[in-house]
Chains A and B, each alone.
Chain A
Amino acid sequence: MAYKDTMSAEAISALGGAVEELLHIGKGAPRTAEIDKVTGKAVYIDEYQRPGMLHGKILYSKHAHARISSINTDKAKALPGVRAVLTGYDVPDVRVGFLGDQTLLKRDVVRQYRDEVAAVAAITPEIAEEACRLIEVEYEPLPAVFDPLEAMKPDAPLVHEVDARGRPLRSNILPLPWKLTAGDVEKAKAESAYVVKDEASTTWINQCCMGTSGCVAEFDSNNNLTFVSLTNVVFGAKGRIASYLDNIGLKRKRIRVLNPVVGGSFGTKLDTDIYEFICIQLALQTRKPVKLQFSRDEEFFALPPRQAARFTIEQGCDKDGHLTFRKCEAILDNGAYTSWGATTPSVMMLPMSSMYRVPNVLFQATCVYTNNIYSQAMRGYGNPQAAFALETSMDHLAEVAGFDPADFRMINRNQPGDVTPMECKITTCPLDRCITAVREKIDWDQKRGKGNGRGVGMASLIHVAGGARIYMSDGTGIRIKVTENGELDVISGSTDQGQGSPTVMAQIIAEATGFMPEDVNMIFGDSALGLWDAGTHASRHTFVAGNAAVRAGAQVKQQILELAVQYIPKLVKSALKKQKRKNPDFVEPELDYSLIDSPEKMDIKNRFIFPKAEPDHPYFRMEARDVVRRGLHVGTGESKHVVAEVFWDPPTQMLNAEMKGNYSCTYAFGAAGVEVEVDKETGEVKILNLVSAHDVGRAVNPILVKGQVYGAAYQGVGMGLSERVQVVEGKVVNGNFRDYKILTAKDTFPVEAVIVEDPDPAGPYGAKGIGEPGLVPTAPAIANAVYDAVGVRILDLPITPEKVLAALKAKGE
């Protein structure tokens, strides 16, 4: 299959008009909306209180795989202050989760150490914890399996005997259809001038949100539920809880999901976790509000980390360096149950099929049950794992084919107008500028290829940046109300997790309406107030909510201008009359009211309405709020409120049965370059310089964009060099910040975030999503730099000193 360009440059530029001069977009507006975070007043789940609130705690399994032979809760129940003790026998046997493969509390068999065996509600967290200690559980251990390759063998112990519907299972392999093919990989391979094959693997990574997980559940007297949750998908959470309540017999109950201030998210809040259902069940049982909050310890062993993955990747190119094919098989350790980790292949497919121009592709992923901790989403959602395999393989192939790795990437770079084998339509694509920026700023041509213990490495990325249609709707609703005082109360159906949305959305809305960012009061995370939203995931918020806001803002502006046509003349005339009354000598000016006789003749900027023909008109230039207030108080049947709401669902496609489709409106590109020094004595890799260049469409707020890139890049360095949840026979053994190494302020190296702007016609004022990309290329760039420095390819993350030393030794150094 030849590579096709199906969209012309003209067609792409026709998608969007020129953006006129912008007043608020592109400015580094301060995060004033979040002032409570610097004064200590912000209310996180830690502070959330309700009258009479109880505290929940969970008792977890003591085995990776065992049959529960008995549970005795008598002592726990007798402890003063305990209000409820629940086991699997006290709660309805209802399955939850993406594949319905678990219950809240496990009654017969535990399949991993984090299995929830019992739960307590008590008047203090300390009493609840003490009660958990008093619960006696006896287990009969069962054979367990911890290696996904072992687990795939026919004689492996089964993690699950039956599926969600009770049908017997014969294998640990999950029935998930992760396969994408395009073109003819075998034929292309046979015709390739150069071919490489590598095995790469990545491990579990804890998201390490600084605020630990927690929730508060409260039922009113009608059994309607208010659920304070950290979810980044309020309507998804609401739906999952609704079906749970439905299944336990509470039909058609009202559920309101609310967010407190959220102390970090990074994927952990995508699924509704078991602890949340348990908290709801405790609240139902006790008829009291119940809070359940994790300790740091639990955050490490009882929260699903980033999915561990193994890849076998083959790529080839012709003698000119053009990629001919890419073939990749991935095996994902699913752990004992299924959360969103099992769906990360849907995102792995994007780089595997669409990073660089590659006509023939085969990607296949197999998820396997084991008795390990189960996994979920983390920033990048499978992309960082896939990019590690892909970008290290790119370097390998460049070497074999005799190309400089940066040149090799340029030869194969994506270009505007491309339609990829996954049928993703590439519209704007400044990947060339990202690679070039990295090349220059990392001093690539000077520093590469010295092999003297110092080296440079590079990697690129593609990611969804215009929403991601993983549900039938990828929509978001926004409602803007202009008050009589000229404030804009804006209710968004989505959530804020600290990424800066209150500021960015305020800038977009100010730009669209003609008000100021400080006039905008953003309200997030309330399923009762907000219109539906697919969730703040997939780097989609600025793009999708921003698009909804631009449209709602335009409606608001139109409404105000229509009022202006009606009322500015009246307001001016009455002011003149008043003046005349005060001063009989006053001579009324001759005013040309045709300047303002239609909305099209006027505009609003920085809170003022003015005639376009004469922006400083001494009479017609008027504060927008005066017109809004006038419109509210007209008289019987005539008064109008300025309010607009827009639900915007991007024009994208769901992946079809072949896993193809343009599931995002636009895609973000980027590149990272790293310079490292490798100590051959200790194996230690030191980062000397990091440059991360990203295609952001347009930076709505350059300071905040940089913050996203820096934060993500640091997480990428952690992934590359130090972070791993150590799981020994199913048990997390390094669940604390001493043993789980995330970077501190002392792990310092120069880092530069390069913002590459190429406004995207589909984006709000040209913006693309940029929440995740910074993480994606960092770890492979480090691995490639290590190779350049000392000639060993470490393809198993993280690149620890031991692995480097072992590789150097194997190489004979």
Chain B
Amino acid sequence: MKQEIQFVLNGEQVFADVDPQWTLLYLLRNVFGYTGAKKGCGVGECGACTVIVDGEATNSCLYPVLEVEGRHVTTIEGVAAPDGTLHPIQQAFIENNGVQCGYCTAGMIMSAKALLDQKPDPTEEEIRTAIAGNICRCTGYVQIVESIQMAAARMKQ
């Protein structure tokens, strides 16, 4: 039995008929075609599916779809400006090799954005804690952390 839910997705009011069994990740990928969030594990262990729900970085693969009702969801597709100008975090990832294969990147950027939205001037420790749930096999995290620092510095200006 499908149920209708209503929520705000990347700034737009949206409706969807959902199967209560679905996860938010399934809804985003299969109904809305927002495929930036990835199913790296499906069980909350890798962070590739991270999106922002009401300001918090969230593993969408575990998030029951009915709970989305009335909330604000931001995905990687909603991070750049409407004219396509990259968000400073995205820009820094491109400039400082924060992205290699890119599979973890959407989730990584969402975790970083949730942090910087709340805390514009985080310590390295806070950055590392914020992305602790996002596994990256390619980079060793060094240039990801640097990219986030670079973005934070630029956003302050």
Please report A residues at the B interface, Cβ cutoff 8 Å.
28, 30-32, 34-35, 37-44, 46-47, 207-212, 261-266, 295-296, 497-500, 703-704, 706-707, 710-715, 736-738, 742-746, 748, 751
Does B136 sit within 8 A of A, measured CB to CB?
yes
**What is the CB-to-nearest-CB distance from A572 to chain B, in angstroms, rounded to a whole number?**
39
Judge whether A212 and B40 touch: CB under 8 Å: yes
A residues within 8 A CB of B6? none
| Other contacts beyond A46-B35, A211-B101: 9, CB < 8 A | A31-B97, A37-B102, A39-B76, A41-B77, A208-B137, A210-B48, A211-B38, A211-B40, A263-B102
B residues within 8 A CB of A704? 97
The total of interchain contacts (Cβ-Cβ below 8 angstroms) comes to 164
Select from chain A the residue with minimum beta-carbon distance to B125.
A748
Complex interface bits, B137-157 against A, C-beta within 8 A gives 1, otherwise 0: 111111111000000000000
A residues within 8 A CB of B129? 746
Does B134 sit within 8 A of A, measured CB to CB?
yes
Does B94 sit within 8 A of A, measured CB to CB?
yes
Does B95 sit within 8 A of A, measured CB to CB?
yes
Judge whether B135 and A35 touch: CB under 8 Å: no
**What is the CB-to-nearest-CB distance from B99 to chain A, in angstroms, rounded to a whole number?**
5
**Considering the chains assembled together, what is the distance between the CA atoms of A452 and B23 in angstroms?**
52
Which chain B residues in 91-114 approach chain A with CB under 8 Å? 93-97, 99-106, 109
Given contacts A31-B94, A710-B139, contact A39 B36 (CB under 8 A): yes
Judge whether A34 and B99 touch: CB under 8 Å: yes
A residues within 8 A CB of B128? 745-746, 748
B residues within 8 A CB of A264? 101, 103, 137-138
**What is the CB-to-nearest-CB distance from A721 to chain B, in angstroms, rounded to a whole number?**
14
Judge whether B137 and A715 touch: CB under 8 Å: yes
Judge whether A209 and B137 touch: CB under 8 Å: yes
Judge whether A30 and B100 touch: CB under 8 Å: no
B residues within 8 A CB of A41? 36, 77
B residues within 8 A CB of A742? 135, 137
Please report B residues at the A interface, Cβ cutoff 8 Å.
34-43, 45-46, 48, 75-77, 79-80, 86, 90, 93-97, 99-106, 109, 127-129, 131-145
Interchain Cβ contacts under 8 Å between A and B, 21 examples? A35-B94, A38-B93, A39-B77, A42-B102, A46-B38, A208-B135, A209-B101, A210-B40, A210-B137, A261-B101, A261-B102, A263-B101, A264-B101, A498-B101, A499-B100, A711-B138, A712-B140, A713-B140, A715-B140, A738-B45, A745-B134
**Considering the chains assembled together, what is the distance between the CA atoms of A523 and B80 in angstroms?**
25
Select from chain B the residue with minimum beta-carbon distance to A701.
B97
**What is the CB-to-nearest-CB distance from A502 to chain B, in angstroms, rounded to a whole number?**
12
Judge whether B100 and A737 touch: CB under 8 Å: no
Select from chain B the residue with minimum beta-carbon distance to A774.
B140
**Considering the chains assembled together, what is the distance between the CA atoms of A118 and B73 in angstroms?**
40
Judge whether A296 and B94 touch: CB under 8 Å: no
**Considering the chains assembled together, what is the distance between the CA atoms of A208 and B137 in angstroms?**
7
A residues within 8 A CB of B79? 39
Judge whether B101 and A497 touch: CB under 8 Å: yes
Choose one: A43, A262, A266, A751; the contact of B142 (CB below 8 Å).
A751
Select from chain B the residue with minimum beta-carbon distance to A737.
B45
A residues within 8 A CB of B38? 44, 46, 210-211, 263
Choose one: B35, B46, B137, B142; the contact of A40 (CB below 8 Å).
B35
A residues within 8 A CB of B131? 745
**Considering the chains assembled together, what is the distance between the CA atoms of A649 and B89 in angstroms?**
41
Judge whether A210 and B136 touch: CB under 8 Å: yes
Select from chain B the residue with minimum beta-carbon distance to A704.
B97
- For the complex of A and B, 10 pairs with smallest distance between CB atoms: A40-B36, A498-B101, A37-B102, A263-B103, A714-B140, A40-B76, A710-B140, A737-B45, A210-B103, A38-B90
